[in-house]
Structures are given as structure tokens and as C-alpha cells.
Chain A
């Protein structure tokens, strides 16, 4: 009952409201002359220095859901869930190499979204539209998942109800507040709140990693308890080490997730908001501090095993909501005032990424759908206004997902989201290096990768939840006819097929002399830094159809 958790609820509410106040004040922080411009509302003036960027990207990538779901994975499956650590190690060198180029070209051309870049690079608004829609569709369930994170906390505090509306009322209120200050302050709100959120999370985790082993008999005892639990279960895939069957899954999932993470529009928003190349590069050395945090949080899943936590029941009879293990661990082991702070950290932790994601999705809509197809002569002020309204719509959509659909559905969609955002890799990430691919081939590759990825996800069953389809992202290679028990990450296979198809179709289209789009960028653009001149905004839309003859020759590799 909620009365038993009164201290926790009060502390949670007070911190939550204080942070909301910060969100509204953020509009005045580093106040620009004219807030009604997408560069200001949606990218914080492209002026963030090292510290702000560190908190912003950290708050953006390590979401409330991560903090709740990754330990839940370790709690349920063991070592396989630890993929989150290698995944967040390899992403930073990748960003260091690749995304500084995107920052430069976006700085030169005032790009706001990855689809803006694709449009200019490949001279194809159609390809840009596909990239934009892929981004929006992949981001929406991610926002909904942040709500799942808050809900796990609320459930633990006993704030729940009989009817669907009563159960979701606190979340609806929380998201209404979030929507209001994002509308007003834009990217400045999550940037400022991230300071509070991360301070809280660091405090909670530092206490947890020393206090919990002290109470539970040391880390050695915690690992032994986990080992004993997994040995006692009949499931073959679990254990505190990997086995022969899930090693490839571990490797491909870590690598695929790292590639997916920096293709998500919200990660790019954080990168584009930074002031110069040096800020990004320095941050790639400093951001792994969060990975250490994540690794330690992940191990709380084992601490929950040692503490004998039993997850709360799920929405369907007979199911359990494993996302409640970490909140329950805090609730049972910490004094209630500290558990309240920990819950607030998770709750506020959901707000920062949700705000950035909705801004990123809104920018995609504005730049690549509204301005491209609905109103070509939109002024910067109109763009900013459309984006503000679109950010509201995105949040309403996310809340609707949670209220009207089974939360499991959001988790499935998130799983699918990682696979589909990976399909933008050839156009966005490889596009930063080479103009070799033909625009038509990139579309074909996207269709192939998408189709294969969806089919693979569809045929994966899940024995634990007794579902025949969309049971996870580990694809048994036996379904391809290989004589093995091993599994592999769906997204990884799908993007490989995407690449092969894109390459083959490029060769075919070149052989058939099908005209390619013009390249609107120059090799120099990929090295521009702060202080370099911007290319003036284009007066009209770039020609899409028949490109002039001198533009059809393959662009030089850069």
C-alpha cells in the first residue's frame, strides 16, 4: 500500500517538482536574442561547452530505462545482460572517428537532423524522408519506455490503481509538466536538468555499490548467490559467464547496439548542440565515466538475487514485471528517505532523455516533412513553432502507447527500434565517408534490411513469456539452416544484408546509367570547425529529378 511508502513518495514528489521548476527557468539560461529559431530551441544555440555536453549526452544515452532494464536482464539471464558494458565502451571511439565529421558538415550547412545531411549529400528528399520517418518511428517507443521506467518506481511505492486511468494518472501529470517546459525552454531544459539528474544518480550508485555489498556479505557472496540461482534453473542460456551459444549474440548485440545508439536522432541532437569539434572529442574520453556507472548498476541485478528480491506481478495474470527488481532492492535495503532519493533519480532520469528524444523527433518532422513537403518557404520562426507543437504531439503519442497498449508492446517496439534505426547506417554513417552509393540503391538496401529484420524478429519465440513472435532479438542461426544452437543479433544481420544489397544495386544502377542525385557538400565541409564560415541557407529546394549532366558523375571519395 502507498501509505507504507509515504516518506519515499514525499521525497520523490518534492525533488520531481523542484526539477520541473528548473526546466521552466532554463528558458532564461544562456538566453539568446531570438528563441524562435530551430538552432536555439532545438539545439540550444549550438553553443554548449564541455561540461554541459557531458551532462547532456550522458543524460541522453543512459536513460531511466537503461538503469531499470539492464539490471533486470542480469537478474533474469545473467552474463548476457552485461553486453551493455562493451556496448557503451566501443561507442565512444566510434563517435570520435565518425560523428565529428557529421558535426562539421552540419555546422557548415546548418543541418539540424541526420536526414538534412542525407538530403544534401545524396540530393534526394525521398531518401531523407525515409531516414526521417525511420528516426521518428524508432524514437517514439523509446520515449514510451522512459515512462515504463517511472512506472516501475511508482509501482514499487504502491502508487497504482485498479482502472487503467487511475494507474496512469501520475505519469500523465508528469509528462504534462515535461511537455510544458520542453515547449517553453527547448533543449536548454534537459541540458540544465541533466546536472541535477546525474548528480542524484551518481550519489545513489556510489552509496549502493558500497552499502549493498556491506549488507549482503560482499561482492564475492553476491556473485556466488547469482551463480547458485542460475545453476538451479533448467534454462540453458543463463549463468554468470557466457556459454558457447550466446557468445556471438553477445558480440553482435554489443556492436550492433553501439552502431544503433549513435544513429538515433536524439544522440545526434546532443552532438550537434556542442560548440566545436574539440568539445566532442574531449567528451568521448570523459563519457565512459557513465559506462562505469552503468556496469555497476547492472550488477545490482545480482545484488537483488542475493537479497532475495521477488519482482512484482505484471499487468497480465501470472507474469512478473522484472523491471521492478532494482526499485524493490532499494526499497528493501535502504532507509526510506534514501530510497526516496533513489526513486527520484530514476524518475528524473526518465525526463531528460524523454525531452531530448521528443525534440529530436520534432525536428525531424519539421525539417524533413513539414518544410520539405508542406511548406517550403517556412521561416525560421515558423520552423521553431512547428517543432514546439510537434514535440507535444510526440509526447501525447508516447503516453497513449503506455496507457492504451500493453507496456510489453513498447518494449517490443523498442527492440524493433534498434533494428530499424540501424538500417539508416549506410546513408548516414557511411555517407559521411563516401558518396559512392547510389541514392536509389540506398533506398533498396533500406527496404531489404527492414524486411529481413522484421521477419527475423517476427519468427523469434520466447519460451519464458510463452510468446510465439517478437520474443527477443537473439536469432537462432538454426533457422537459416545452420546446424548449431548459436544465436546472433537480428539488427547485425539485417544491416549486413542492407549493405550488400545497396552495393549490388549501386553497381547495377551505375551500369544502367540511371542518374544519381547531386552532392551538395564538399570534401572540406567534413573538417570545418568553430569559427568557419557557414554556407548561406539555400534559397530554394535542391533539384530532385533530373540532375544536370555534370552532376551525374560519381562524386569523389572523401
Chain B
């Protein structure tokens, strides 16, 4: 595997920055929009309705906003690093 000689090149600056981003604690926040939509007792009810939508539906649609907000936040907070 000569083409993978570890001494071939030092990691580029972009790589070091990417590594810092991937290891940022902000990434843990992403588990919130992964877990919340899977906890059915949080949203499995009819009332209160919003614009005619039972809670089951409008809450899950609202989780989309939660997902967008979290990924945007994590992206912005980790972008500044490095």
C-alpha cells in the first residue's frame, strides 16, 4: 500500500479544521431532533388542535422546524471554529 504512506503529506489546513468541527461538542445537540420525533407519548394526542390539526400532526410538523433550527445552529457554531 505504498500510495498510502503516512509520511506522504501532512494533513492540509482544511482537514485540520474539518476534524475540529467534527469533534465539536455542539454536534451532540443533533441528537435532540433525532430522539424527540421518536418519543410518541410527546405528541400522540388530539387536543389542543391548531388550525384544525390535531396535536399529533401539528406537533410532528413543528419538529421539522426543530430539526432545521438545530442543524442550522450546529452548522453555524462549528463553522466559526478553527
A binding-site residues for B, Cβ under 8 Å: 79, 82, 85-86, 89-90, 92-94, 96-97, 100-101, 104, 213, 218-223, 240-242, 247, 250-251, 254-255, 277-278, 281-282, 284-286, 288, 291-292, 295-296, 299, 518, 520-522, 524, 526-533, 535-536, 538-539, 542
What residue of chain B has the Cβ atom nearest to residue A284's Cβ? B71
CB distance from B43 to the nearest CB of A (A): 9
CB distance from A94 to the nearest CB of B (A): 6
A219 and B15 within 8 A (CB): no
Can you report 28 A-B residue pairs in the complex whose CB atoms are below 8 A from each other?
A: A79-B56, A85-B63, A89-B67, A90-B33, A90-B34, A90-B67, A92-B71, A93-B33, A96-B71, A104-B18, A219-B51, A220-B52, A221-B52, A222-B52, A223-B53, A223-B54, A242-B40, A242-B44, A255-B38, A284-B71, A292-B64, A295-B60, A524-B15, A527-B16, A527-B18, A527-B19, A530-B14, A532-B12
Determine the interface band of chain B, counting residues with CB < 8 A from chain A: 35 or more
A529 and B15 within 8 A (CB): yes
CB distance from A418 to the nearest CB of B (A): 17
Q: Mark B10-51, 1 if CB is under 8 A from A, else 0.
A: 011011111100100001001101100110100011100101
User: Which residues of chain A have C-beta atoms less than 8 A from B67's C-beta?
Assistant: 89-90, 92-93, 288, 291
Q: Which of A223, A295, A527, A538 has the most CB of B within 10 A?
A: A527
A277 and B18 within 8 A (CB): yes
A285 and B72 within 8 A (CB): yes
Given A251-B38, A254-B37 in contact, is the A527-B46 Cβ separation under 8 Å? no
B49 and A527 within 8 A (CB): no
User: Which residues of chain A have C-beta atoms less than 8 A from B45's C-beta?
Assistant: 241
Given A242-B44, A282-B75 in contact, is the A97-B27 Cβ separation under 8 Å? yes
Q: How far is the CA of A416 from the CA of B18 in the complex (A)?
A: 37
Given A241-B46, A282-B75, A532-B12 in contact, is the A90-B3 Cβ separation under 8 Å? no
User: Which residues of chain A have C-beta atoms less than 8 A from B4's C-beta?
Assistant: 520-522, 535
Q: How far is the CA of A100 from the CA of B74 in the complex (A)?
A: 14
A291 and B64 within 8 A (CB): yes
A527 and B34 within 8 A (CB): no
Q: How far is the CA of A307 from the CA of B19 in the complex (A)?
A: 54
Cβ 8 A contact of A93, one of B52, B53, B70: B70
Sample of 9 more A-B contacts, CB < 8 Å, known A90-B37, A93-B34, A524-B11:
A96-B75, A281-B71, A284-B71, A292-B64, A524-B15, A528-B15, A529-B17, A532-B14, A535-B4
CB distance from B48 to the nearest CB of A (A): 12
CB distance from A549 to the nearest CB of B (A): 14
What residue of chain B has the Cβ atom nearest to residue A95's Cβ? B71
CB distance from A463 to the nearest CB of B (A): 24
Q: How far is the CA of A240 from the CA of B64 in the complex (A)?
A: 20
User: Which residues of chain B have C-beta atoms less than 8 A from A254's C-beta?
Assistant: 37-38
Q: How far is the CA of A281 from the CA of B61 in the complex (A)?
A: 22
Given A93-B30, A251-B40 in contact, is the A535-B3 Cβ separation under 8 Å? yes
A533 and B34 within 8 A (CB): no
